[in-house]
Structure 1
Amino acid sequence: MRIKRNERIAGVPVLKIRDFFNRLNSADGNTFSQDRLCDLFHLSCEEGALLIKELQDRNFIEETVDGYSLTLRGAALSIARCVPPIHKEKADKLLSDFLDRVREVNDHDVYLYRVSGVWLFGSYIDDNATDYGDIDIAVELSRKIEDPNEHIRRNQEAVMEAARKGRNFPTIFDQLDYARRLVLLKLKNRNQYISLHTTADGILELTKTLRIYP
């Protein structure tokens, strides 16, 4: 999904709504109340009710017994990007290059994780789409080394080498997760049109998907 930076919904900037939806998706549940919405966006009861109605009318949220929750369209808004659209030819080239990097990761021992699955979702698999804000991709990663102790040793070697080159690791988790992050950084390749997720974040449960690898 593509959004415009200056777009508003019932007077509230769409970027603020997107970020709120994103936090909901990152939590254990995505249910919220109208009072919470009003507090977050500093709205009166009347303004909050208008925002709720507009979000329902646009099929971003639906009412539940506990309040409101995101629909599939709301989940798509939570990861929407503000980038100029690209045409299919460029999108196809970006995806082809991405799959080349997948094969490179899988073929080289320097990477401690392999890409065991790749899924597409969002506008790229919509037959009616003529241009795209980004390419939504989810990957499944698995360890190449089955022995957990050996995996940890190899990861620590990579951390020490990166530290010698000036990379900072603020927490122990940053160190332990380095090998996985290295693969994700390689796959994304700093491209603003690649919206990259892992299957661990549950995105595949929220939207229509198409498996393309293997």
Structure 2
Amino acid sequence: MRVGKNETLAGVRLIKLRDFLRFHEESFPAEAIGEQFKVNGGRKQEIEEALVRAGYVIRHENDKTRYLVAPLGRQLCNARFISRISREKAEALLQTFLVRVVSINERDELTHKVTGVRVFGSYLTDKADLGDIDLAVGIKARRESHVKESVERANQSIRAIRSFLDRITFGRSEVKKLLKGGSPYLSIHEFDEVDELGIPYKVLFPSNGAN
């Protein structure tokens, strides 16, 4: 999850809410909100209700005076806060990304290739600026020997790779890294994620794909 530096919830910057949830990790008493943000009464309740509506916290089942940090709240805890980008910059990043897709598919030494790209999320809205670009990417092994090849490429890498899982999946991870091109604004997701969530998307690759 990437969130704009100036985004707020109930008038509180999300970066402050993130730090609050990080500190409490799993659960916290309702009064902790008032203590943290130095509010009380209706203002405290406004922040509580906003956190619940946003899906960041849920009421504790057995203790209504406490909240649990929800899965979305844990995502917020790991969120990176970056400046938003203009629609024009997003378009330029996307075009450069698609050029990399074609380049990757032409590199037979890579263990995997890109089979499809779908864009979804805020990019499909009419917003003038965006937090990031959500891309559902299909990645497929080129050959049955991809596991062996992945290990070999991991052995040749200048990075220290100790985990066995990281070694056998190195080839796929390498392609994902190449796709991002070091940009913090490109968020790569599994290809079927949009189907599982039932959300709208636009097919970018292959160019003749259909929704």
Same fold (TM over 0.5): yes
What residue is the counterpart of 2:140 in the other structure?
A: 142
Aligned residue among 38, 45, 69 for 2:28: 38
Aligned residue among 149, 153, 166 for 2:148: 153
- Aligned pair count reads 189
Distance 1:138 1:8, change over 3 A: same
Report the 3-state secondary structure (helix = DSSP H, G, I; strand = E; otherwise coil) of the residue aligned with 2:28: helix
Alpha-carbon distance in structure 2 between the residues aligned to 1:169 and 1:75: 27
Report the 3-state secondary structure (helix = DSSP H, G, I; strand = E; otherwise coil) of the residue aligned with 1:15: helix
Identity of aligned residues (%): 29
What residue is the counterpart of 1:14 in the other structure?
A: 14
Q: Is the 2:5–2:83 Cα contact (8 Å) retained in structure 1? A: no
Q: Gaps spanning 5+ residues in structure 1: where?
A: 22-35
**CA RMSD between the two structures:** 4.1
Deviations 1:137-193 (A, max 9, x none): 121111111x2xx2222112211211xxx3101211111111011001100010122
1:181 and 2:196 are equivalent in the alignment: no
Q: Gaps spanning 5+ residues in structure 2: where?
A: 35-39, 62-66, 207-211
Work out which structure has the larger RCO, using CA pairs closer than 8 Å and 6 or more positions apart in sequence: 1
* TM-score for the superposition, normalised by structure 2: 0.68
Report the 3-state secondary structure (helix = DSSP H, G, I; strand = E; otherwise coil) of the residue aligned with 2:4: coil
Q: 1:1-214 alignment to 2 at 5 Å?
A: 2-4=3-5, 9=9, 14-15=14-15, 36-38=26-28, 51-56=47-52, 59-61=53-55, 81-126=80-125, 128-145=126-143, 147=144, 150-162=145-157, 166-199=158-191, 202=193, 205-206=196-197, 207-214=199-206
Structure 1 or 2, whichever has the larger Rg, is 2
* TM-score for the superposition, normalised by structure 1: 0.68
| Structure 2 counterpart of 1:134, one-letter code | D
